[in-house]
Every structure is written in structure tokens, then in C-alpha cells.
């Protein structure tokens, strides 16, 4: 029998009921469409890091990070942002279609692209992650002409349009059709488009932009844009300040460029007369100003301005624990997949998935947790079917990758993050609408139903099994999904004394002991499996052997800075 099967048996108690939740996928999509349609400022932001390994392109370090930074920056000044990460050519086209339908006539529109791009025959092509660049005839299947994005904004009638190209980095030079003849230049070509549009380039035409020197840092262009877009100065001054800052931070190695014009000045921030941030006085022969290190940026993190690591995971301070940041979300499938790709770590064997007749080893894994056919399982869902040992290996890889100390949270730290209150949402049961992903009527399908698990009979949170991370409201500290979605591994050994007396009694009645305090690791938080109050308490501790993998168990990570970083 799996180590904590008795814990899962507690899910088969009598169900509770409450008013039906409104946060269903269809409802959310309608809300999004309504919000986009009503917005007078809309942006499309794309960051591509991971390119096809069989092609000629190397992976990039910072593009997803840059996209996340620009998303937050534009949202802070009133833009509704459509975000895409690691998009192939088809994905970029789909995002453009969504963006075109949302561009406000008479409003403002912006596109930011970070990733590989090439100039060929005077045209700039933004490369999807499927790009191999092995044949000229396939270029339009692997890349999109940058002018397409500019034209989309102008044809939709946007009054003020911006195209930011943070992408002329290290395109290949060993592809014959690209290097043949005079048509191929370094960097990008200037785009000439008539209309009220400004096209900003991370580097001047014909020159290449730089990748950040340190893993986990943003590009010089994205860093400068994020500083000056919210400053309250008019658009021309924003670009001038960005050019000065990038020139200084790169020691003159990179100079930004822009072309185009507006009839009327545009202010990204809500007022056109806010004072600009102070600039250091000019000095003769200035030395390059180094970009802040990841550790320095992490120390400056706040709930409103999280530290974003190389995977795009957001970290904010843990209340009551100096020098410790906790990830706002559970680790996603895309994050674990990157770890497996880089390390060849084998986490595919022996996972217990919910089947007719209980939890069984039926060939499921983190890649396919054998959820019902209708249950979504995308790169942005939390990874499941991972053991405590797998989570430790993930943290060790991330430490080696970034030079920052990542680990699992302790039981005490998890308690600080969830806060006081009987349940993650407060003291009253059942949970209010939108509180999280628990076992409602939507979960009562397939093997869940066959095993007679208890569920919240008047609840429908829209997710049959897991939901994409951050689908529901954050708690007051800024953390998502502490009360549901997946149970989360903690660092500590489990012992019964960690749980409340009635939970211990229920466990003992089920014949479950704590293994003497050195056999099982702690699990915290409810999950998509939880449909009774005893399983959803903030204080509740589950447990399992550290090598076991289950379809309702995942993890989130801590970034520990301490006093020395």
C-alpha cells in the first residue's frame, strides 16, 4: 500500500456543499475578451528563450525574464497585456490574432519581442522557437516579418503604436543561405512604415544587442525601458533616457535606436508632467555601470515588485523571515521540463495516479498524470507526480544554474506564508467563490467518482484536476494556491505531533502511524483532491515517503539570501 494511502482515504468522508463558483474556463475567457475589448491600451509581449535543439540557434538566457519585466511595467501604466513565452511560429501567429482583435481604435497599442531575429533581404524576421534556419524556403514557416506587427496596429486604427525589438542578439553566422551575398547584415534593418508609430530597437540598425552578462539578469534595453516607461515623461524623452542608460550600462558597446513619429506626444504614465528620476551627472569617459546582480535584485524584491528568476518564476519576501523569498506559485510543468532537459533527470517511473480502484502505478508520470481526457494539463499547470527527491534535485539544479540558494520551504515557512486562520481563505467553511482549486462537482468524474471521493457539491471551480498556477486570487501576502491545486512538499520530516488532535485521531483510526518521525516528509496545503474541511485546513499536514510520486502532489521553492546573498 502507498505510504499515506490513509490520508487519501480521508477524502472519502461526507461532502460539504456551497454556492456554485463562477470561475470556470468559459467564464474566465468571456471576462478576458470583455476586458480586452474595453481596454484603451493593449500590448502583446513575447519572450522566446528555448529554441529547437536540432537547428542552428542557441538558447537565450533572458528573453522570458525580459518579457515578464515588460509585462509588469506596461500593466503598471494601464496596458492590458497578452503574454507569450517560448512561442513557435504558429503560436506567435495565434497571439497576433488575439492582439489584433483587442487593439483599441483611437487608443494605444504596443508590441515587445525578445528573442532571436534576423535581417534578410532588408526585412526583419522574428524567429519562433521552431526555427532551424536550414532552408530559405521555410523561413516564413519559422519566423514572422516584424512589419506584420507594425501593420496590425496601424490597420486597427490605434492612435499611438509602439514596436519594441529587443532581439538582435546572437543569430547564427554558419548558415549558407543567410551569409551568401550582400543581403545579410548584422543586427536588424530599419523598418520604414508610415503612420503614428515608433519602432524602438535594442541596438542601432546593423548592430547587435548584448545578452546580459549574468544569468538571471535582464537585458540592458528591457532594464532601461522598465525604468523610464513609468516615469511620467513624454515618449520622446523616454527613448532618449533609455538610449543614455543603455549606452552607460554597456560602456558604449550598445546604442539603442528608434524611428517613426507621432503628431501628438504620448505619455506612458498617467500624467505628462511627473518629474523624471534623477540621473547621475555626466562625467568624462564614464566607466560602464554594471547591471545589478540577481542577488541584489532579489534583495530589493517586494510584493509589488517581485524578483523574477531565469525560469520566469516570481519570488516575494516571506513575512516574518528576513532574507527568505518564497515563490508566489507552485512549480510549473514548463519549469520541471526545463530541469529534465538540462540534466536528463529521470522522474518518469513509479508514479501513483488515481485509477478505478484507487491509487495505482499505471504508467503515469509528470509528463502525463493520467488525468481525464477533458482535464487540461499544459506547461503552466503545476507539475505533479514528482517526489521529494525530485524536488530536491530541481533545487540543486537551479542553484547551479543561477548561483542562488534554492530549496524547499520548511514547515514553519509554509505556515508563515499561509497566515493565521483555520483555512487559507479565513475561518468560515465552505470556501468562498474563487478561493482556489478544490474538489467540487467538476472533479467528480472518472476515477475520482469511481472511488467515491467526497466533493463540495455546490462548487465548480472549473478545473477537473489541476488548474494553471495563479488562476485564483492570491492571499494577502501575495502567494497563490496555498490552499488548493496540489499538495506541496516541505523540507521537514513528518511526525503526528505537527497535526491537530482530531486529525491525528482520524489517521490512527485509519491505521496510519508517523514512522517515528524520520520516515515521511511533510506535505502542506489542500489539492484538487480535497473536498472536506479536515483536508483543507491551513494547519493540516499530509505526508509521504520522499521517493513516492503522486498525481496530486507538487512543490514550490524558496530562495534563501541570508545576510550574504
Q: pTM for this structure?
A: 0.57
pLDDT at 172 over 50: yes
Strands 197-201 and 160-166: parallel
In the block, cell 534576423 appears at 118
Read off the pLDDT of residues 214-239 as tens digits, 9 standing for 90 and up: 777 899 999 999 999 999 999 999 99
For the stretch 230-233, contacts whose Cβ atoms lie closer than 8 Å and that sit 24 or more positions apart, written own/partner, are 230/73, 230/76, 230/77, 230/268, 230/269, 231/269, 231/274, 231/276, 231/277, 232/267, 232/269, 232/270, 232/271, 232/272, 232/273, 232/274, 232/275, 232/276, 233/267, 233/269, 233/272, 233/274, 233/276
d(CA 50, CA 334): 11
CATH architecture of the domain covering 39-291: 3-Layer(aba) Sandwich (3.40)
5-24+297-560: CATH, from 3.90.1580.10, 1.10.260.40, 2.60.40.10, 3.40.190.80: 3.90.1580.10
pLDDT at 81 over 90: yes
pLDDT at 317 over 90: yes
Where in the chain is CATH 3.40.50.1460? Answer: 39-291
Q: Which residue has the higher pLDDT, 45 or 516?
A: 45
Read off the pLDDT of residues 492-542 as tens digits, 9 standing for 90 and up: 999 999 999 999 998 888 888 888 889 999 999 999 999 988 889 999 999
Most confidently modeled range among 16-20, 66-70, 96-100, 193-197: 66-70
Q: What is the pLDDT of residue 164?
A: 96
In the block, cell 501575495 appears at 478
**pLDDT bucket at 194, cuts 50 / 70 / 90:** confident
Q: φ, ψ for residue 117 (rounded to 5)?
A: -150, 155
d(CA 73, CA 226): 6
**pLDDT bucket at 424, cuts 50 / 70 / 90:** very high
**pLDDT bucket at 99, cuts 50 / 70 / 90:** very high
**CB atoms < 10 A from the CB of 378, how many?**
10
Where in the chain is CATH 3.90.1580.10? Answer: 5-24+297-560
pLDDT at 135 over 80: no
Burial of 345 (0-12, 13-18, 19+ CB in 10 A): middle
Instruction: Provide the grid cell at 544.
Output: 509521504
Q: What is the pLDDT of residue 482?
A: 96
d(CA 522, CA 511): 18
Amino acid at each position: 500500500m502507498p505510504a499515506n494511502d490513509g490520508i487519501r482515504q480521508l477524502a472519502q468522508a461526507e461532502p460539504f456543499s456551497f454556492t456554485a463558483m463562477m470561475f470556470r474556463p468559459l467564464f474566465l475567457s468571456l471576462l478576458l475578451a470583455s476586458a480586452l475589448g474595453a481596454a484603451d491600451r493593449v500590448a502583446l509581449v513575447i519572450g522566446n528563450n528555448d529554441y529547437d535543439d536540432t537547428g542552428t540557434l542557441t538558447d537565450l538566457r533572458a528573453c522570458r525574464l525580459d518579457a515578464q519585466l515588460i509585462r509588469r511595467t506596461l500593466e503598471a501604466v494601464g496596458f492590458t497585456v497578452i503574454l507569450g513565452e517560448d512561442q513557435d511560429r504558429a503560436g506567435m501567429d495565434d497571439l497576433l490574432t488575439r492582439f489584433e482583435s483587442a487593439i483599441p481604435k483611437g487608443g494605444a497599442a504596443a508590441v515587445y519581442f525578445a528573442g532571436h531575429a534576423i535581417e534578410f533581404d532588408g526585412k526583419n524576421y522574428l524567429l519562433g522557437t521552431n526555427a532551424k534556419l536550414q532552408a530559405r524556403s521555410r523561413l516564413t514557416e519559422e519566423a514572422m516579418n516584424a512589419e506584420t506587427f507594425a501593420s496590425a496596429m496601424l490597420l486597427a486604427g490605434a492612435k499611438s503604436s509602439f514596436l519594441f525589438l529587443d532581439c538582435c542578439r546572437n543569430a547564427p553566422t554558419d548558415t549558407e543561405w543567410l551569409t551568401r551575398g550582400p543581403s545579410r547584415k548584422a543586427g536588424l534593418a530599419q523598418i520604414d512604415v508610415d503612420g503614428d508609430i515608433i519602432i524602438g530597437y535594442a541596438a542601432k540598425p546593423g548592430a547587435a544587442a548584448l545578452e546580459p552578462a549574468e544569468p538571471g539578469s535582464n537585458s540592458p534595453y528591457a532594464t532601461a525601458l522598465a525604468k523610464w516607461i513609468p516615469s511620467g515623461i513624454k515618449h520622446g524623452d523616454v527613448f532618449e533616457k533609455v538610449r543614455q542608460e543603455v549606452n552607460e550600462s554597456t560602456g558604449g558597446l550598445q546604442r539603442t535606436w528608434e524611428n517613426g513619429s507621432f503628431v501628438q506626444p504620448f505619455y506612458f504614465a498617467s500624467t505628462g508632467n511627473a518629474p523624471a528620476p534623477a540621473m547621475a551627472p555626466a562625467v568624462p569617459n564614464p566607466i560602464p555601470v554594471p547591471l545589478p546582480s540577481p542577488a541584489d535584485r532579489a534583495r530589493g524584491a517586494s510584493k509589488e515588485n517581485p524578483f523574477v528568476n531565469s525560469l520566469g518564476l516570481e519570488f516575494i519576501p516571506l513575512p516574518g523571515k528576513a532574507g527568505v523569498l518564497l515563490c508566489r506559485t507552485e512549480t510549473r510543468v514548463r519549469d520541471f521540463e526545463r530541469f529534465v532537459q538540462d540534466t536528463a533527470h529521470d522522474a518518469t517511473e513509479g508514479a501513483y495516479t488515481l485509477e478505478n480502484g484507487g491509487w495505482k502505478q499505471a504508467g503515469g508520470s509528470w509528463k502525463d498524470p493520467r488525468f481525464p481526457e477533458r482535464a487540461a494539463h499544459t506547461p503552466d499547470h503545476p507539475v505533479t507526480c514528482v517526489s521529494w527527491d525530485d524536488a530536491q534535485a530541481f533545487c540543486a539544479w537551479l542553484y547551479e544554474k543561477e548561483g542562488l540558494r534554492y530549496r524547499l520551504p520548511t514547515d514553519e515557512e509554509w505556515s508563515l506564508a499561509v497566515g493565521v486562520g483555520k483555512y487559507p481563505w479565513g475561518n468560515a467553511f465552505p470556501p468562498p467563490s474563487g478561493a482556489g482549486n478544490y474538489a467540487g462537482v467538476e472533479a467528480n468524474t472518472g476515477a475520482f467518482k469511481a472511488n467515491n471521493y467526497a466533493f463540495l457539491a455546490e462548487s465548480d471551480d472549473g478545473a477537473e484536476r489541476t488548474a494553471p498556477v495563479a488562476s485564483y486570487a492570491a492571499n494577502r501576502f501575495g502567494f497563490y494556491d496555498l490552499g488548493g491545486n496540489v499538495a506541496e512538499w516541505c523540507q521537514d520530516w513528518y511526525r503526528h505531533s505537527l497535526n491537530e488532535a482530531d486529525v491525528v485521531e482520524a489517521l490512527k483510526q485509519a491505521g496510519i502511524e508517523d514512522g517515528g518521525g524520520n520516515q515521511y516528509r511533510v506535505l502542506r496545503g489542500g489539492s484538487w483532491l480535497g473536498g472536506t474541511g479536515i483536508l483543507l485546513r491551513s494547519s493540516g499536514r499530509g505526508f509521504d515517503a520522499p521517493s513516492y510520486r503522486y498525481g496530486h502532489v507538487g512543490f514550490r521553492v524558496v530562495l534563501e539570501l541570508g545576510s550574504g546573498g
